[in-house]
Structure 1
Amino acid sequence: MNPIFLIGYMGSGKSTVGRLLAKHLRLQFIDLDAWIENRYRKSIHDLFAEYGETGFREIEHKNLIEISEFQDVVVATGGGAACYHQNMEWMNAHGFTIYLSASVDMLVDRLKTGKSKRPLISQKSTAEMERFIRESLLQREPYYRQALLLIKSTSEAPEKLAEHIAEEILRFESRS
């Protein structure tokens, strides 16, 4: 099976749902950010600090291309991965893309506690973070909406959401 790529904004549940989805489908799970951190032996925050966003996006792109050659994997991409270097087109051509969509309120609520690990929002107040998320979602949405499947991330248990996505993938695969 070609790779399954989960895309969406940070905090939408890509890693949590991705792990569960991979388990449900009996596939390997890869978190692209963790993959990069292991390869470079630095945190995403440190890579942003060292290379800037442009340099980090180059690193992310190269690693995404490498991972897209794998079979039988579920890949949780970084929140911005779909929006740079024609990555969205690449993922659609080499795998199955799923957009986990979440409301701004849900994203703010989820991101408030762990924002120090997220370079784009680490120094922002809650109000600034909400404004930033709203504005960047407007810019990213056209890329995210190119996914083959759109799933609304809800407060539903991640296990139920993963099960629902697995059913949708199998339904889509049976039509192909």
Structure 2
Amino acid sequence: MLLCCKVSHQGVSSTDPCAPCSCKDHTLSDCPDKTVNLHFKSECSIQFLSTQLFRSNNTLLRELLLADNRLKTIPASLFRNLKSLRNLDLQGNVLTHLPGGLFKFTVSLMKLRLSRNQLTRLPPHLFDNPQKLTYLGLDDNLLEHLPDGIFDGLRSLISLDMKGNSLIELPSGLFRNSIKLRYL
């Protein structure tokens, strides 16, 4: 059992051992349905997330913090049932790529932190659906190029952090639909 997380269930917060979530061999594999917030500390050293992690329709989960673990990959369908997810923190892991369509069902997502990973590229339609996204952190990765239209679906984006990458050239019209963008 995972003993290094903080969980809230429908307004009840607990720093007690996270008995409802199971983690074995650095793979997070199961979490309860009525969870509102999940915060996995760096000492969890999570490397993998099971495709079954959120297998039920977890409509209550609003915050998922997995920062500073050792995540290498994220299953493409992981967030499929997390339609209420507002804050996703994946910074400080060792992610090298993200599957296309990863955020397709995260319609309520407002803050996404992907900073301090080892991302070398982003799939073209990665951010097509999170229309409420206001903050996107992509800083301190290994990005050299961005696909044309990568930010087209982010009409609510206010702040985009991309410092610390190796961007050579930006596609023309990269921010054509980012009418609310204030901080770059």
Name whichever structure is richer in strand by fraction.
2
Normalising by structure 2, we get a TM-score of 0.28
Normalised to the residue count of structure 1, the TM-score between the two structures is: 0.29
Rg comparison, structure with higher value: 2
